[in-house]
Structure 1
């Protein structure tokens, strides 16, 4: 794909890496390293938070996933992946209730209050795997891009991107991540805009064909959209990168950053999904997505495409490293909260993620499907406990967790070809049909367990708690009155 453009691509990425290292501040305080505050103790503003939210969720795996789903399943595939970005809306509702109704400073403290060590243990285990998968998946995309470039550069590129990102992440923690995210997001927006413009003006671009590219209402793309709409409720809660950014600024700044991040990230993902649809409609027999786009859009666009993927990988990696250090040191309390210990945690997560690149699967969406299914044990927690304010028996939490993990494992082993259980039993041939069935079953089991495990509360408690949240969402005056967290 990039044979004749390898040198300019490397030069461009080297410049971006150098600037990122230069602008990353050296942070020595725990608040600066773990919470992103500046030397004066001030939290980041709306613009910084918004760009950081978007660029950490518009990561390399997401861009490539959106393109691949559009390539194989048409407009429905692109819409299905974009639906996951509704997580910014559900994520904001979750964070606002945790902070300003329940008075919690992180997710772990809430789960500890409701479910004890069991709650935090299950959650921390899932989140740790999520962070490792992010390191793995984004470095895998870097390898895919440079493998297409030829010259056996993929391994060197993976190690270089991981190493450079780790260096400036260890320098400044979350504060460095926030600052470099603004630069990386600005570049990413420019690249996505330019690629979209080249697609729209291309003689082969046919808007009616793009819109009609998923004619089968029961096709895999539409099924995956249904899965996304089920998983989007719990998906943000198990993403520490998003959650961390919801606890560092004031209420209004946090709300506005989540709202803006929702529409900006959705448009970016849809744009990349449309690139995939465009490529799929014009692909030659046996031609891969990146090769098709290179042929259709030409050399300069090919460099922009590769640069967008690698820059987004780097922007996600630094956020993943900062969230991993916060998880291990502050949230799990594995060591004293200091910048030095945070740097050690970053290093360990980096080594673990790089190791997975060379032994893990190359199915990029598998990680999304598995983690999204596993996270569904949190849906009843959100509905009954965070939004509803109800107390639930701990056995209910364990049942929901067991069902979600069993569903995630079943999907992974069957999709990987290790076993065949659902296909013979149900006759469902496509993996996304089986994923939808698993998701519905996991959600039904979890919600039923929580309904059965409800503890008695005073009359009207549910209406006061959940209804208050709804009033807050629509009423600016309510927001002003509830500006102070309830302790």
Structure 2
């Protein structure tokens, strides 16, 4: 019976999203998020949109899973990625101060089409992983609700079609409007479940805050170090966040990033506590914690958790698709800048994402680790080029880019015999930390050497 309630409640949310999507779409609204009157989104529209697109289903599950295995250290490690709102807001402000309207604008001015093209490849893969990961969580939830029924596959296809329907209707303008509704619903549903957790007879805040998880806290602290290394470049390779940094005026944008930061961190820490509590009561890990929670909590609390995950998945899909349309049409120029062109791009990304989901890949955090490592070529480029204002030659950029891509590939292929021989014989997160340090060391060495060479050459011409 509870399964039916969850499915019906999610159907109501999906239909409400369709209902609030704009009835008419303009090209500017589809790609730029402007309202029917041409107005930019307001502060809280931006805040709620930023939060709901980053507090997505994969993130919530990652926070809970890391909390289960590594205690509060694991949850803090994942929460640290949300410092991206602070570093992302800083990057946006610097680019806007120099007259840029996107990260691609700035990279194009510095490195031409090569710089833009390499960056667009990385963010296209990032967007595809967003679609895949959120559909994956939908499948996991419905498989837990109705085991051995094939419900997961049906749910993935249904959510893909529903998400695509209203996203393709209005593009970014639709995503902004539905994000507000979905985030408010998420906060209500999750707030009820969280209140039930902390008021439960077996909950102890002191125990949660000092918990070390079922596998010990060490790897959680290792992941916190990884997050600290990746948090500067991580937002710059997330087109959903970056797109929202250029929709409103500078003051509104700056405030939206600050508010999104603290709201997101609180949500991640709160959801992580569900995973930590599962480890404290000695629950066995089952089905991405979905089965674990079904045993731990009363049915209505479990249903609230499932519904909050489903809402967050739906809210991320529309934003990922709208950014995918913008990248494909405005940056890669593979399709005409029209409603039809944008909609074709959305269909393509949704089809590929759903295909990957149904293919059987079930890794969640690895997608974050791989994309975060691939983005690290941006750290030395942004620090030296954007912050310090030093000119960087193209060869330096390409060396940093190559190092990051090789690092991401090394982590993804760490089980391969050749790759394994190059990595330390240690836990995969220790290997990830070593890879991140190596990527940054090579990137900074190349960028600093290139910038110094440019400066010496300029001085010699005087």
**Could you say which TM-score interval applies, normalised by the shorter chain?**
over 0.9
Tell me if structure 2 keeps the 8 A contact 1:112–1:120: yes
Q: What do the CA deviations read for 1:437-467 (whole angstroms, capped 9, x no partner)? A: 0000001110110000005459xxxxxxxxx
Tell me if structure 1 keeps the 8 A contact 2:168–2:346: yes
* SS at structure 1 position matched to 2:44: helix
Match in the other structure for 1:143: 139
> Which deviates the most, 284-293 or 225-234?
284-293
Match in the other structure for 1:107: 103
**Which of 449, 453, 460 is the aligned partner of 2:450?**
453
Q: CA deviation at 1:424?
A: 7.4
**Which of 206, 209, 217 is the aligned partner of 1:208?**
206
Unpaired runs of 5+ in structure 2? 457-462
Q: Distance in 2 between matches of 1:160 and 1:115?
A: 42
TM-score w.r.t. the length of structure 1 is: 0.90
Tell me if structure 1 keeps the 8 A contact 2:240–2:323: yes
1:73 lines up with 2:73 in the alignment: no
Tell me if structure 1 keeps the 8 A contact 2:69–2:216: no
Tell me if structure 2 keeps the 8 A contact 1:132–1:349: yes
Q: CA deviation at 1:27?
A: 3.6
* SS at structure 1 position matched to 2:201: coil
Q: What do the CA deviations read for 1:341-396 (whole angstroms, capped 9, x no partner)? A: 11111111111111111225211001000000000000011101111111111111
Match in the other structure for 2:459: none
Match in the other structure for 1:474: none
Q: CA deviation at 1:422?
A: 4.4
Tell me if structure 1 keeps the 8 A contact 2:366–2:412: yes
Q: Distance in 2 between matches of 1:243 and 1:360?
A: 30
**Which of 172, 183, 188 is the aligned partner of 1:190?**
188
> Which deviates the most, 274-283 or 62-71?
274-283
Tell me if structure 2 keeps the 8 A contact 1:80–1:225: yes
Paired residues in the alignment total: 451
Tell me if structure 2 keeps the 8 A contact 1:198–1:297: no
Tell me if structure 1 keeps the 8 A contact 2:423–2:431: no
Tell me if structure 1 keeps the 8 A contact 2:393–2:454: no
Match in the other structure for 1:394: 394
Tell me if structure 1 keeps the 8 A contact 2:130–2:320: yes
Tell me if structure 2 keeps the 8 A contact 1:143–1:157: yes
Match in the other structure for 1:227: 226
Q: What do the CA deviations read for 1:122-160 (whole angstroms, capped 9, x no partner)? A: 101001100000000000000000010123210010011
Q: What do the CA deviations read for 1:300-326 (whole angstroms, capped 9, x no partner)? A: 111111111111000000000000001
Q: Distance in 1 between matches of 2:16 and 2:173?
A: 15
Q: Distance in 2 between matches of 1:233 and 1:361?
A: 28
* SS at structure 2 position matched to 1:246: helix
* SS at structure 1 position matched to 2:235: helix
Unpaired runs of 5+ in structure 1? 459-487
Closer, same or farther: CA 38–425 of 1 in aligned 2, 3 Å: closer
Match in the other structure for 2:83: 86
Match in the other structure for 2:57: 60
Q: Distance in 2 between matches of 1:296 and 1:23?
A: 36
* SS at structure 2 position matched to 1:39: coil
Match in the other structure for 2:460: none
Q: Distance in 2 between matches of 1:357 and 1:420?
A: 28
Match in the other structure for 1:371: 371
Q: CA deviation at 1:286?
A: 5.1
> Which deviates the most, 8-17 or 369-378?
8-17
Match in the other structure for 2:301: 301
> Which deviates the most, 335-344 or 79-88?
335-344
Q: CA deviation at 1:94?
A: 0.3
Q: Distance in 1 between matches of 2:387 and 2:107?
A: 14
Q: Distance in 1 between matches of 2:169 and 2:261?
A: 29
Q: Distance in 1 between matches of 2:450 and 2:286?
A: 53
Q: Distance in 2 between matches of 1:312 and 1:38?
A: 23
Match in the other structure for 1:349: 349
Q: CA deviation at 1:291?
A: 2.2
Match in the other structure for 1:467: none
Q: Distance in 2 between matches of 1:24 and 1:285?
A: 42
Closer, same or farther: CA 287–16 of 1 in aligned 2, 3 Å: closer
Q: Distance in 1 between matches of 2:360 and 2:112?
A: 33
Q: What do the CA deviations read for 1:251-283 (whole angstroms, capped 9, x no partner)? A: 011001000000000100010011110111113
Match in the other structure for 1:479: none
Tell me if structure 2 keeps the 8 A contact 1:283–1:292: no
Q: Distance in 1 between matches of 2:276 and 2:421?
A: 29
> Which deviates the most, 188-197 or 400-409?
188-197
Match in the other structure for 1:242: 241
Closer, same or farther: CA 276–240 of 1 in aligned 2, 3 Å: same
TM-score w.r.t. the length of structure 2 is: 0.95
Match in the other structure for 2:281: 282
Match in the other structure for 1:172: 170
Structure 1 vs Structure 2 CA RMSD: 1.7
Tell me if structure 2 keeps the 8 A contact 1:422–1:434: no
Q: CA deviation at 1:284?
A: 3.2
Q: CA deviation at 1:402?
A: 0.8
